[in-house]
Structure 1
């Protein structure tokens, strides 16, 4: 294998043994190399096969992204892979692009508040912890100390690398929208660190996933307990009606009685509505 083009110290293009053109990444793989030099296969950490629109986008990134930004992105991707995340090519390119844009924006004094930070912390705890570690990597590599809001944005990118992007954002939108309605209806502030709030958030996450997969769930054995919980607080019915209206209009799904029942169980715990 010989290099065709040297993009930076850590990225070169080459022709793989099977004859396909690819861009290979690895620490120092392009250091002091020129076109035609052999590629040190021991240094290859990631391979991007050149095809379709991904080729154009990735080539543009390599030509415009600063080497230290690329190094930070590569270290974050290795960290994510060690944590069990599936790092697909398209998602990895998106992460590199995001980090590059974030560093440039921050250096220009532009800070974007993350309005979904608390939901990201609760819903994607592992990815959020990786996001915090990513901030340390970016500071070490790029000399930029990004705020905690950016850990949430990076966490969301790590989530979308491993799962369908639209499903991840729809789930987050679902959870944030329902929690906002709950807090507004009862006039409360939820403690995101409490076990009951985390259980409520987890329940909403799985409810969202079931809705998006169009799974039907029926269990007629809860009628008496459902009525009992419903009558414990006059705002319970109002909250369920508002939630159902929001979910119906936004996600085109109508909650059935069993789903309302389990929501009431979690609401009773987290808000202590029965007292």
Structure 2
């Protein structure tokens, strides 16, 4: 199979058209050297190939690539291939642009000696443990193949990009949901006057409960409300019941979706177990 060159981005990266006239990104050592637009290139000369079907993603990637160091670009492409292998699932093609853009920004900050902080790292690890483990491998791969030393904070950011690509949701939306859960936990600790060990099973259960609640709200999924239990909880555990409604309000404002009353009931029971444990 041969490809017709549309644009030469640098010595190692080309934009070309396949026999079906679809635009593809071609990567290979020196494949752009002394090439001409409209000339053809054979499959045997190509190391890596991927397709960006969305026109806006194509344009963003074309603008971004000339500013990416060639060695860094190659390791980013390898990282995305690693993510694809580990997830064994559909990845939204947006990850090519989003992850490349993020890592270029990160590298520029590191080069200028600016510290990278991620206040929601532990929340991300608890919410997306599967993506977090893959992101750990990605950071290790990048650090092994470059002169960089990406900090652990980057694992959290990359995990969000992986989840975003897996569920086909914008990474900013995924990040906002992760931060929301972090804020909810801080409010729980403040109101109940407790400090929950971030490595404990209680913390993992709480995060999982909040995540599943968030996912139900996003999907508009209704849960049955046990009315008798609701009245009992309201009378027996007024602090936890009121706190659950404060949490629901924050969730509703962030997600911009209605929340069914039953969610507060189940959250009250969870909060009461936490409060009981710390007495």
Whether TM-score is above 0.5 comes out as: yes
Q: Distance in 2 between matches of 1:274 and 1:261?
A: 21
Distance 1:201 1:170 in 2: 15
Describe the superposition over 1:40-67 as per-residue Cα deviations: whole angstroms up to 9, x where unpaired.
2584543224763333221122211001
Number of matched pairs: 272
Q: Deviations over 1:3-61 (max 9, x none)?
A: 52443465222221112333224x54727673335322584543224763333221122
**Residues 77-226 of structure 1 mapped to structure 2, 5 A cutoff:** 77-84=80-87, 85-163=89-167, 164-165=169-170, 167-220=173-226, 223-224=228-229, 226=230
Native 8 Å contact 1:244 1:254 kept in 2 = no
Q: Give the distance between the partners of 1:169 and 1:56, measured in 2 at CA.
A: 24
Paired with 2:278 and 2:143, the residues of 1 have a C-alpha distance of 48
SS of residue in 1 equivalent to 2:77: helix
Q: Tell me, in whole angstroms, the C-alpha distance in 1 between the residues paired with 2:241 and 2:268.
A: 10
Once the two structures are TM-superposed, the CA of residue 230 in structure 1 deviates from its matched residue by: 5.2
Unaligned runs of 5+ in 2: none
Where structure 1 has 5 or more consecutive residues not aligned to the other structure, the ranges are: none
From 70, 73, 98, the counterpart of 2:73:
70
Shift of 1:229: 5.0
Report if aligned partners of 1:29, 1:40 keep a CA contact under 8 Å in 2: no
Q: Deviations over 1:133-180 (max 9, x none)?
A: 222222123211111111111111111122211552343243223212
> What does residue 11 of structure 1 align with?
13
TM superposition score normalised by structure 1: 0.85
